[in-house]
Amino acid sequence: MKEPNSLINRIKKVVEQSQGKCWLILIHQELEAWLLVDCLGICWYFTKNIGTRTDPKWEKFAKKYQKGKTDLIIEAEAGGKNAKEYLVNFSKDIVKKINPQLKDRDLEKKQYSEHDSEKVAEKLEITDQTIARNNSLSEFAHHFKKKVDSSE
């Protein structure tokens, strides 16, 4: 609390004074990290194949990339973009697995980019297990469940 009038400290003060009516959930990773809660779903999106979810070959491939807690994903290169960079590299590996003969310029056209995030997210399955892979998502789910339970 070095700067008592900073925006975050003013927000925290409002949250504390709300008597539990509002919460502050700090998002530690952006949407790209949340997408990584289900690497099999990401494979499903890039293969355009519903069978991917039940194919043991794709399950094994996805598990290799499922790093557990998404906020622990480290930068692939110094100064990189953490989860976004990880997702771009993961998507390249998926596309290469589908078509190993693909040229680099075609690979770049098919790799993940931010404008794909909404479409990729449609293929994800959010379960208790996948929520547990992201601390921010776990905290949000906890508060959301508490709110739903109290309104019943």
Q: What is the pLDDT of residues 4-41, one digit of tens each?
A: 788 888 888 999 999 888 878 776 656 777 888 889 99
User: Distances from the Cα of 36 to the Cαs of 50, 67, 107, in angstroms?
Assistant: 18, 9, 20
**CA separation for the pair 111, 94 (Å, rounded):** 9
Q: What percent of the chain has pLDDT over 70?
A: 87
Tokens of 79: 């100064």
Give the chain's residues under pLDDT 50. none
- Give residue limits of the domains in the chain: 33-131
Q: Kindly report the pTM of this predicted structure.
A: 0.70
Quickly count: other Cβ atoms within 10 Å of residue 13's Cβ. Answer: 12
Tokens of 59: 């399950």
CA angle, 151 as apex, 150 and 152 as ends, to 5°? 95
